[in-house]
Amino acid sequence: MALRTLPVPDGLAGDRVDAALARMLGFSRTRAAELAEAGAVRLDGRQVGKSDRVVPGGWLEVDMPEERPAVEVVAEPVPGMGIVYDDDDVVVIDKPVGVAAHPSPGWTGPTVVGALVAAGYRMSTSGAAERQGIVHRLDVGTSGLMVVAKSELAYTGLKRAFKERTVDKVYHALAQGHPDPTTGTIDAPIGRHPSADWKFAVTADGKPSVTHYETLEMLSAASLMEVHLETGRTHQIRVHFAALRHPLVGDLTYGADPVLASKVGLTRQWLHAHRLGFEHPTTGRWVEVESEYPADLAAALDVVRGAYK
């Protein structure tokens, strides 16, 4: 992380922070807005947002993240990755566990992007080169539905839909114990964990995060939940249920019982992106698809339903 300190020129006085910063640093307004939204921009020592206004004679301080090294896309088929919807503009895939959405530093495993390239798909080139068509992500350890943009128009439309929260993202999760109330909303901000920056937690200064849930089936050791995301923070469902003291079965990172995980044969969290609905970015037609539980989750659920004592 490098600190840049910049005097505000008289000619930019009164401009929005994102517009002024883009002019001063020579990069896109979107990039400047992302820095402000991340809390990395201060005006005369006070943190400012992207729509705040700069003043003449003021000083902007910017925490500039280190540039990420280029990451190569490796075309590699992914066994078990299904295509559940496909047209000229979008493709919806059913992602298996153990697959990342796109290449990233330090990840050497399979990716959705690499699998689509290997299958001959042409995706949108908007965004970073290694993130061809990716408009949202699932954790490596989470299975289920993802929509990928093939055309530039679809990329723009889907990014807007996710930002405006018009995409219907429905997950099924198996939570330890019995959340009370059985139907409710978790409204708790999520940020980096204070002592382990590789995971997340409910924190006072985190980003607003809202999860709606409903109990589908109450079992002896756990509850099968249907979860609707209003926001899309990293690890949101896992963090929110852990905060309720009902972590997802198998989610050892967030406090799940290792004995229960072993009994049901899980090596990852019981979480599946079960249904995805969105307005098609070019036709306007509503598209809705569902995904069945993969074998490991189905088997674990059967154990909890019947054999677990």
Alpha helices (runs of H) in 234-307, residue ranges in sequence order: 236-243, 258-264, 295-302
- Cβ–Cβ < 8 Å for 113, 130: yes
The tokens 């930019």 sit on which residue? 12
What is the Cα–Cα distance from 162 to 182, expressed in whole angstroms? 27
DSSP annotation of 88 reads: S
With a CB cutoff of 8 Å and minimum separation 6, the contacts of 245 are: 177
Asked, as a colleague might, if the bond just before 181 is cis with ω within 30 of 0, I would say: yes
Longest dimension (CA), the chain: 73
Tokens of 127: 């965004």
Q: Cα angle at 251 between 248 and 255, to 5 degrees?
A: 90
Q: Is residue 15 among the annotated active site residues?
A: no
Please provide the distance, in angstroms rounded to a whole number, between the alpha carbons at the two ends of the chain.
Answer: 51
Of 94, 139, 251, 296, which is the active-site residue? 139
What is the Cα–Cα distance from 206 to 190, expressed in whole angstroms? 4
Catalytic residues: 139
